[in-house]
A and B are shown apart, each in its own frame.
Chain A
Amino acid sequence: MQEVTTEKKEFVPNIVAFCCNWCSYAGADLAGSSRLTYPANVKIIRVPCSCRVNPSFVLKAFQQGADGVILCGCHPGDCHYVTGNYYTRRRMALLYSFLNYLGIEKERTRLEWVSAAEGARFSAVMNDFVKTVTDLGENKRLTDLRVKEGE
C-alpha cells in the first residue's frame, strides 16, 4: 500500500522570452553552444527586432497564462536597425510602469539588453528571471481565467 502524498507540486512558471534576431537570439544560441544552462520553462520567440514586440503580445502571453514575460534586445546604440531598441525602451518603460500601476507584480515583466557575445549573461538573466517569477508564484492577476478552465 502506498501512502498518498499530499505534497504540493512545485510551482514551475511558464516564461515567454522575446529575443531579437541579431543580438539576443544569437546570445541565446551562444549560451547553448557554451552549454550554459537555464531552466527549460523559458521558451524563446524570435522577432526581427525588439521593436517588433507589441505590448499586446506581452499582454497576450499573460492572458494565456504565462507567468513572466521577458524581452531581450541589442544594447542601446547597437540595434541592427539603428534605432529600434530606443523605441522599445520607451514603450516598455511605459507599459511596465503602467502594469505596475494596475497592481500587476512588476517583477513579472522585464527588459534586458543582451548582445550576441553575452551567452553567459543570457543564461544568468534567464536563471535570475525564472527564480524571481518562481518566488512570485502563479500569475493570477493578468490571466484570463477562462484559459485554465476545465484543467
Chain B
Amino acid sequence: MLKIAKERLNDLYAKIAQTQGLFLPVKKAGEVNYCVWSEGKEVSLETLKTVKSPKNMFFPQTENMMKFKTEGKNIEVIDVRESFDERKPFVLFGVKACDYKAIEVLDKVFLADPVDTYYQNRRENTTIVTLACSKPEESCFCGVFGIDATAPQGDVTTWLDENYLYWQANTEKGESLTAQVEELFEKGGEEEVAAQQETTKVVLESLPYANLDLSRFQPENLNELFDAPEWEKMSEACLGCGTCTFVCPTCQCFDIRDFKTRDGVIRYRCWDSCMYADFTLMAHGNSRNSQMQRFRQRFMHKLVYYPSQNDGMYSCVGCGRCVNKCPQRLNIVKVIKTLGGKNND
C-alpha cells in the first residue's frame, strides 16, 4: 500500500493529467460533479455524493452518434466515433463503492451483445480509481446490495483520512497507473486504512436503511408486485420529472434525436427518463399512459425485471441520490418498505 499527503494531491492530479484525461469530483457553482481536471479547479473528494454519478463519463447525457452533411441533394454520413476524444485513455478518480458497482450494472447492458461501441470505447480506455467511504449518511444503503463501502473495487482503490490518501492497485491497468505516479508516494498506511474501515463499518451498520429486506423482490413475485394496489398511493405525489433517473448511477435509458445544424443534421442520443410522459412514445400513443404506470416501471425495473435477466443482480446500488434529490421525497426505499413485506417495518 502507498500513501500520499493530502496537500500533495494536486501534484498527483497534475502528474496523471500529463499523460491522460483526469475526471474527478469538482465543485462548480456550489455543486460537485465529475469534471475534467485542470489546474485551479476545486476538487472535492470529501463529497460523499456527487449530484450526477460518474456514469456520465461512459454514457454521457448527450452524445453525438453520427452526422449527416447535406449539400444540395447529396447527403454524406460521417462516423463521429473516428474523432472521439474519449478514445484517448483517461482516469476516473474518486469513484465510490456504490458508483463503481453501478458501472458493473451498466456494463451488463451496454457491453452485452450487441455491444454499444460508443460506451465500449470509453469504458476500455478508462482506469478507475475508487475511493472508500468514511462518512456515510442516512440515505446510504449500499450494504443492502452487498457492497462494502469501505473496500471498493476498481483498478486502484484509495482511502482518504485527515492526512493522507492511501493507494492500492488492484489490476494491471491500476499497476501501470501506479507506475506512472509512484514517485509521489511513500509506502505504508495499512493500519490506518484498517482502522478507518473498522469505524466506518460500525456507522454503516447503524444507518437507518442498513437492514432493508429485499427478499420479496424476486422474479416469481413479479405479477403480485406488479398488481400491488399500493402503487397508486405511492406514486400520487410524483411530478413526473426526471430527477431520480438522471441522478441515478444505473439508469440507462436513452432517446435518439436529430439536431439540425447549419449544414446538415447531427444524430445524437440523450438520457431519457421512464418518468416522462413521452417515454417510449409510439405512433399509437404511449403504452404507459398514467404516472402510476411510469413510476411502477422504474422500480419494477430496478428490483425485478433487471435482476430476473441478470442473475439476480439488482439495478439499484443504494447510493441514495434519489432519496436526497426527489423534489417530493419519493424514492426507492419507500417502495421497498411498502412492498417488501413486514421485515421492513
Chain A positions near chain B (C-beta within 8 angstroms): 64-65, 144, 146-151
Contact = CB atoms under 8 A, between A and B. Distances in A.
Contacts, number: 22
22 contacts: A64-B262, A65-B262, A144-B259, A146-B259, A146-B261, A146-B266, A147-B260, A147-B261, A147-B262, A148-B261, A148-B262, A149-B67, A149-B261, A149-B266, A150-B67, A150-B69, A150-B78, A150-B261, A150-B263, A150-B264, A151-B262, A151-B263
Contacts of B266: 146, 149
A65 B262 CA distance: 8
Contacts of A151: 262-263
Contacts of B264: 150
Contacts of A150: 67, 69, 78, 261, 263-264
A121 to B, nearest CB: 32
Q: Which of B259, B262, B263, B264 has the most CB of A within 10 A?
A: B262
A44 to B, nearest CB: 19
Contacts of A144: 259
A73 to B, nearest CB: 28
Contacts of B261: 146-150
Interface in B256-302: 259-264, 266
Q: Which 5 A-B residue pairs are closest in the complex by CB-CB distance?
A: A147-B261, A147-B262, A146-B261, A146-B266, A65-B262
A78 to B, nearest CB: 37
Contacts of B78: 150
Contacts of B69: 150
A6 B335 CA distance: 66
A146 B259 CA distance: 9
B161 to A, nearest CB: 42
Contacts of B259: 144, 146
A144 B260 CA distance: 10
Contacts of A147: 260-262
A61 to B, nearest CB: 12
B256 to A, nearest CB: 15
A144 B69 CA distance: 17
Q: Which of A144, A146, A148 has the most CB of B within 10 A?
A: A146
Contacts of B263: 150-151
B70 to A, nearest CB: 12
Interface in B8-40: none
Q: Which of A64, A147, A150, A151 has the most CB of B within 10 A?
A: A150
Contacts of A64: 262
A69 to B, nearest CB: 16
Interface string B242-260: 0000000000000000011
A15 B312 CA distance: 59
Interface in B45-88: 67, 69, 78
B307 to A, nearest CB: 39
B231 to A, nearest CB: 37
A147 to B, nearest CB: 4
A146 B266 CA distance: 8
Nearest to B83: A150
A147 B263 CA distance: 8
A144 B266 CA distance: 12
Nearest to B259: A146
Contacts of B67: 149-150
B156 to A, nearest CB: 35
A65 B261 CA distance: 9
Nearest to B268: A146
A36 B329 CA distance: 64
A56 to B, nearest CB: 15
A8 to B, nearest CB: 21
B273 to A, nearest CB: 22
A1 to B, nearest CB: 32
A106 B256 CA distance: 35
A64 B259 CA distance: 11
B133 to A, nearest CB: 38
Contacts of A65: 262
B80 to A, nearest CB: 9
A25 B78 CA distance: 41
Contacts of A146: 259, 261, 266
A147 B260 CA distance: 7
A64 B260 CA distance: 9
